[in-house]
Amino acid sequence: MDLPKAFTEYMAHLIGEEACRRLEQGLADEPQVSIRLNRRKLAGCGHECPVPQSADVAVPWCRTGYYLKDRPAFTFDPLLHAGAYYVQEAGSMFLEQAFAALSADAGFQEPLMALDLCAAPGGKSTHLRSLLPEGSFLVSNEPMRPRAQVLSENMMKWGDPACMVTNGYPADFSALEHLFDVVVTDVPCSGEGMFRKDEGAIADWSPENVELCWKRQRSIIADIWPALKPGGYLIYSTCTFNALEDEDNVAWIARELGADLIPVPCAEEWGIQGDLTGSNLPVYHFLPGWTRGEGFFLAVLRKHGQCEEAEDGWRACLPRKAAKKGKPDKKDKNKGRNEISASELITLSGWLSGSDWEWLAEDTQISAVPKEWADACRAVKECLTVMHCGVPVAELKGRDWVPRHGLALNRACCRDSFPQVELSYEQAVAYLRKEALVLPADTPKGFVMLTYRNFPLGFAKQIGNRANNLYPDAWRIRSGYVTPCSVLFP
């Protein structure tokens, strides 16, 4: 690997010549592949959390993480599309230990409002959603709209009803003062930790870019800081090695914005390195050559102060009036309706498990969010463009409500409301490619939920002797060939 000379000189000065050579050797090794299981979805589909058949060893700092022996053709595994697991760098799974540390520090017992600020493509968001206490709510944000669309897709596949995907910049959260208990900021960085996986990261690296990055990172944290409650927790992370973007920025946050660093317990045999500057800050580096995976850095900070709680808890922190920044509600009667009749509500309610839902009708689409978070969702919507919220339930086509694809993937879906057809592997891949379907002759007419190994993949509509494939066109597998793949099960 032809690393930039300025980079190796800097790292040699930071960690010493011998350690720098070890890092260079680690970066020259083959990239690692790791996945994290969706424990709740696996249990809901009748599976214990399995050891994947493709697994090599477990990721020691994540109870549902596994290194794989090699990189399979994930595109052709229906269970990836069903949200049974997520392909994620092992180092970033250290979020689990960070969240455990802040939970122990705070003694969290109540549901939390959390934000993942720079969330695409969704690795940390899906992980955080699995770590939050029951009844919590997660807002996952991405400033770049194409990346926000990918994030929305991955969050829908993960299938949790208490989450929201937004498209906005950190400054857009300024009106949401003291709303969040936890904020995760995996800030854009110079990408040194990705040198092994991405040749473009090497080409783009320069001392000038590092300078630009650490300044931008401080701006991002300063913008989001008011939205974090006093006494709340910031998880700061990058995928880079240098102290300017890592230790120096963490020290700046603590000193200038007012925060304490929270230690994260980790075992010595994990190979995680601490402060590279000699300042003994409780920070955590994942360096190729010491840990198995790509480069990663993390620190946990607790904001100074204490949030004043009222009888209505977190609602006391909602803004009284937020500036409108999101897209306005569309009222075009030719496109759809913004009301649901009582009879329609009875039908749609049957598609969800439980009854404690707030219904959101906009244009031709209906969603549902847990009632206890409806006010928070409305407040966020006043400030940001919302890409996805709660459970995508139905879409009006003509005079009929059609189940939305995200409903099938969501754990809140009442599966018994629909006839179900289990697909073979070949049929499942054909469905994901949005090809024509022929279902069993005794399949009832109407909307049918299609499953693979008991995991819902989506809907089809049976009409006579054939079925309309309702898989979203934007999500379909576009490859013209198939490489059989089964990561979890034989």
The overall average pLDDT reported for the chain is 92
Q: Which residue has the tokens 């913008």?
A: 223
pLDDT given for residue 464 in this prediction? 85
Q: 3-class SS at 313?
A: strand
pLDDT given for residue 451 in this prediction? 98
| Beta-bridge mates of residue 469 | 460
pLDDT given for residue 414 in this prediction? 96
pLDDT band at 398 (very low <50, low <70, confident <90, very high): confident
Residues 418-427 pLDDT 10s: 999 999 999 9
Q: Which residue has the tokens 């994030």?
A: 151
**CA distance to 2, 3, 293, per residue, from 203 (Å):** 10, 9, 21
Pairing of strands 391-397, 385-389: unpaired
Is a pLDDT exceeding 60 seen at residue 201? yes
pLDDT given for residue 309 in this prediction? 52
User: Could you tell me which of 394, 393, 382, 402 has the C-alpha nearest to residue 329?
Assistant: 382
113 contacts 104 by C-beta, under 8 angstroms:
no
Q: Which token pair is 261?
A: 């660093």
Q: Given strand 85-87, what is the order of strands in its sheet?
A: 55-58, 65-68, 34-37, 85-87
Torsion sign across C-alpha atoms 470, 85, 132, 99: negative
Residues 153-187 pLDDT 10s: 999 999 999 999 999 999 999 899 999 999 999 99
- Of 105-109, 176-180, 235-239, 259-263, the one with minimum mean pLDDT is 105-109
Q: Which token pair is 322?
A: 């937020």
Is a pLDDT exceeding 90 seen at residue 343? no
Q: Which of left, alpha, beta for 242 (phi over 0: left; psi -120 to 50: alpha)?
A: beta
- Average pLDDT, integer, range 313-320: 50
- Based on C-alpha coordinates, what's the Rg of the chain? 23
Q: CA–CA separation, 304 vs 321, rounded Å?
A: 25
Q: Which residue has the tokens 């607790």?
A: 302
Q: What are phi and psi of 210, to 5 degrees?
A: -60, -45
Q: CA–CA separation, 309 vs 306, rounded Å?
A: 9
- Average pLDDT, integer, range 262-269: 97
- Degrees, nearest 5: CA angle 37-433-482: 75
Residue 135 vs residue 335, higher pLDDT = 135
Q: CA–CA separation, 347 vs 364, rounded Å?
A: 16
pLDDT band at 130 (very low <50, low <70, confident <90, very high): very high
pLDDT band at 308 (very low <50, low <70, confident <90, very high): low
* Enzyme catalytic residues: 239
pLDDT band at 329 (very low <50, low <70, confident <90, very high): very low
- Average pLDDT, integer, range 386-414: 95
- Of 94-103, 259-268, 276-285, 303-312, the one with minimum mean pLDDT is 303-312
pLDDT given for residue 330 in this prediction? 41
